Chain A
Amino acid sequence: MRNPLADVPVPLLDDLIDDEYVRSLVVGVVGTLGLLGLFGLLFPGSVAGDLAGIVFSTSTAASTARLAAPIVLAGLGGIFAEKSGVINIGLEGLLIISAFASVYIASVVGIGNAVLGIPAIWIGFMAGIAASTLLAGVFGVVCIEFKADQIIAGLAVWLIALGLAPFMSTVFFGGVNTPNLGANVGWRYSAVMVVVATVASWWALNRTAFGKHLEASGENPKALDTVGVSVSRVRYAGVLLSGVLSGVGGSALALSIGQFVGSGETMVQGKGFIAIVAYLFGNYNPLGTLGAGVLFAGLDATQIRLQQLGYAVPDTLVQTIPYVVVIVVLALVGRTRLPAAAGDHYETEE
């Protein structure tokens, strides 16, 4: 097979390397990992050695991919919505609803069965995307058509999903946790989806006319309107894309285990909010979002493995790292700038 990137002209690579933000992130991550690896090689018995063993093990990679998928994909979705001018803080809700819907539909079809030749688990996957997109669509109508406050509507999306998913699980399965399907989607699929979605998003935002319209819609919607492009349509597209991408993330999360866990904060456990952190950290750049998502997921995966090795790492503390990071980034670095018209409603004149 031909390398699909062979067609990509040099400017693309130039752009990537030129992006200072991406560069510093890459240098930071690679540098840290390199140091860790060196330490691990030199002192195999030390904590660093253990750490290096964990970080470079396949099982940690698998766990990172599994945990990163919902963060990165929802984060990419959040970029599309927010760039268009609609702040979608309901990403968490979209992940929850798609996680549940994917497992539920897969179990309705029945593992081992297929529809139109598609195995049940992938039918479930698509159902998860559909559910998330539908909920995002409702959010879009409420925000764009009825001009509701985006933050409140976003919170409502989260709270609705947080209540609805465990409730439906109880109705259909007799408990907030669904039984395990006994089949799952391998972590390599998650990894591929994350990478493909990241590159595709980068392209869409930076190279297509749609990307320019999104940016204009979030920065100065009137400028877009006066050149004859419908601001509402661009914003609906942004919000629906956030639904689609979050749906992929939520389905991947649940189906990688084959079960929906609905107790407490559900199995999504704030990944939708970390997704917001990830894209802010990545300064609305999909590549930066990927880096941040992998970093946060990697920390979480490492922490879990350390626990298993008997280190008493306080997991709640590790889980606060993304939030601490975002506050530091927003307060000190200050390079993240919200689109000028994000959160504002737009109305065409007469």
Chain B
Amino acid sequence: MNPAVHLDGITKRFPGVVANDDVDLEIERGSVHALLGENGAGKTTLMNVLYGLYRPTEGTVVVDGEPRSFASPRDAIDAGIGMIHQHFMLVDPMTVWENVVLGNEPRTWGGLRVDEAAAREAVVELSERYGFDVDPDARIADVSVGVQQRVEILKALYRGADVLIMDEPTAVLTPQEVEELYDVFEELTDQGKTIIFISHKLGEALSAADEITVLRDGVKVGTVASADVTREELAEMMVGREVLMEPATTPREPGERVLEVTDLHVDDDRGVEAVSGITFELRGGEVFGIAGVDGNGQSQLAEAITGMREPASGSVDYLGEPMAGVSRRGHIDRGMAFVPEDRHERGLVMSYDLVQNGILGSQHDPPFASGGRIDWEASTEHAESVIEAYDVRPPNPDADAEDFSGGNQQKFIVGREFERDPDLVVATHPTRGVDIGSTEFLHDRLLELRAEGKAVLLISSKLDEVQGLSDRLAVIHEGEFSGVVDPATVTEEEIGLLMAGESLADETVSGAAIHDALDDGLGGSGADGADDVEAGSDRETAADGEVDA
């Protein structure tokens, strides 16, 4: 039997870049195939070739034994290939069935009327056949992200797709939704559909895929059966060298007191108290980690410390000086760096190039400003140095921020902030969306800052990250520290208890509560539910590259 898809020697060149270099790929019908690689390895480009968005420079796409040349996605759809993009292509105010049939509406009355009954019936029929639980009349805006993803799958199936390409399908899902997605995979492959998914998460590829193809720098490293390979081997295939499982921290004597937060109360945008009386201090040469389920006041705490949000009460003293009433610019001028959690909203101006983004926050200061004008030469040099030091790809300072992948945007922001020569770095989710090689590098840089005697406040929902890097670890729950522990000795179960808001002395906590807390919050994708050692949580180390909560 012919393979469902055969990519034969695909090369795709863009001006100055070879995105795919002679890639061969065969995908069995009815299998789940993971395309694994770091940011910029050429996974998405390869799939765009298969989906007809790009024409290959060389090579042939063979579908079901027949060589094809796709001029547009329309041709690919006709050949039975469907693609589900990372960002869903759905119309929010329209209903599920309207979205599913969009562009292929069944019509009556000589084309003057959309045959609603037929459309709804087709959607219900598909939905039932594959065990999706989707209400055809619900509005997209009202349904969860997991359901939206199923609507995207229905869209592809409605158009007769036999091969489904999914780009980073778990990036936006909760752990429970990820499990459901794997069930959907199973249902689809049972009925003869073929699934190719793009990922940079090892655990996900190992648990969901039958076969894994690893790409690196546009070249295929190899295809392996997921049953015959270990995490370490995969990580090495992806990165091209051995990857350290644990960041190496060495004990250090803390220095001067840099930050002192006393009984801080902060409200969120709706005026509801988000931070309820937090007190801690942070010294130079120390990493203070804050773990917790997202949405327990971490964002507001970080914003209050960095001068982006006025505290309701309490004080923040920085380098011995009370910061009440000091402007945001005052915070930057005093050497406080901030890696914000939302890189699109606060980290970058998407329509600026990297030269402009590189001086954001420093645009008033020499060497970037001289005599009221911006020195673009110095700015360009600065951007180039950050790009080089932090391995931002493609290395083009003149490209707009929006043209970079999320991981590369994140590397650039972190680079900009770390290179400010700060006394304090407030880093929220610094490695979110970053591949494993780069995560390892960013962790090393963070520890270098610590070795230089800087203070680091690290807020992350990735437990392995905060636990591995911090000297002291606080767990936040509903705006309060439920405990401050020594990350070297605390157990995962203990942290789970604290994240659920229990105190460690309390013996009455049920196992279920622990499990829930672990599932919800520890930065896991839940991809490793089958893995006994790591049941329910995401204890993958930096080497694993599980990068998104």
Contacts and interface: CB of A to CB of B under 8 A. Distances in A.
A219 B105 contact: no
Contacts of B73: 226, 228
A219 B102 contact: no
Nearest to A341: B91
A350 B114 contact: no
A212 B114 contact: yes
Interface stretch (B56-64, B92-100, B488-496): B92-100
B468 to A, nearest CB: 39
Contacts of B89: 220, 222-223, 226-227
B547 interface: no
A227 B91 contact: no
A340 B93 CA distance: 10
A317 interface: no
Q: Interface range on chain B: under 10, 10 to 19, 20 to 34, or 35 or more?
A: 20 to 34
A307 B183 CA distance: 74
Of A213, A224, A227, A229, most buried by chain B (CB within 10 Å of CB) is A227
Interface string A213-240: 1011001101110111100000000000
Nearest to B104: A227
Nearest to B106: A209
B485 interface: no
Contacts of B159: 227
Contacts of A209: 105, 107, 111, 114
A147 interface: no
B54 interface: yes
A227 B93 contact: no
A223 B91 contact: yes
Contact of A212 (B77, B98, B112): B98
A335 interface: no
A224 B102 contact: yes
Contacts of A213: 102-103
Of A224, A228, A229, A349, most buried by chain B (CB within 10 Å of CB) is A228
A224 B105 CA distance: 12
B252 interface: no
Given A212-B102, A226-B73, A228-B73, A220 B90 contact: yes
A223 B90 contact: yes
Contacts of A23: none
B103 A350 contact: no
Contacts of A349: 53
B350 to A, nearest CB: 14
Contacts of A350: 53-54
Interface in B56-91: 72-74, 77, 85, 89-91
A223 B105 contact: no
Given A212-B102, A223-B99, A350-B53, A207 B91 contact: no
B113 interface: yes
B416 interface: no
A227 B103 contact: yes
Interface string B407-432: 00000000000000000000000000
Interface of B: 53-54, 72-74, 77, 85, 89-94, 98-99, 102-105, 107, 111-114, 155, 159
The 9 closest A-B pairs by CB, nearest first: A227-B103, A223-B89, A209-B105, A228-B74, A229-B103, A216-B91, A219-B91, A226-B89, A220-B91
Given A215-B91, A215-B94, A223-B99, 6 more contacts: A207-B112, A212-B102, A216-B91, A223-B90, A228-B77, A229-B102
Interface of A: 203, 207-209, 212-213, 215-216, 219-220, 222-224, 226-229, 340, 349-350
13 contacts: A203-B112, A209-B105, A209-B111, A212-B98, A213-B102, A219-B91, A219-B94, A223-B99, A224-B91, A224-B102, A227-B104, A228-B103, A229-B102
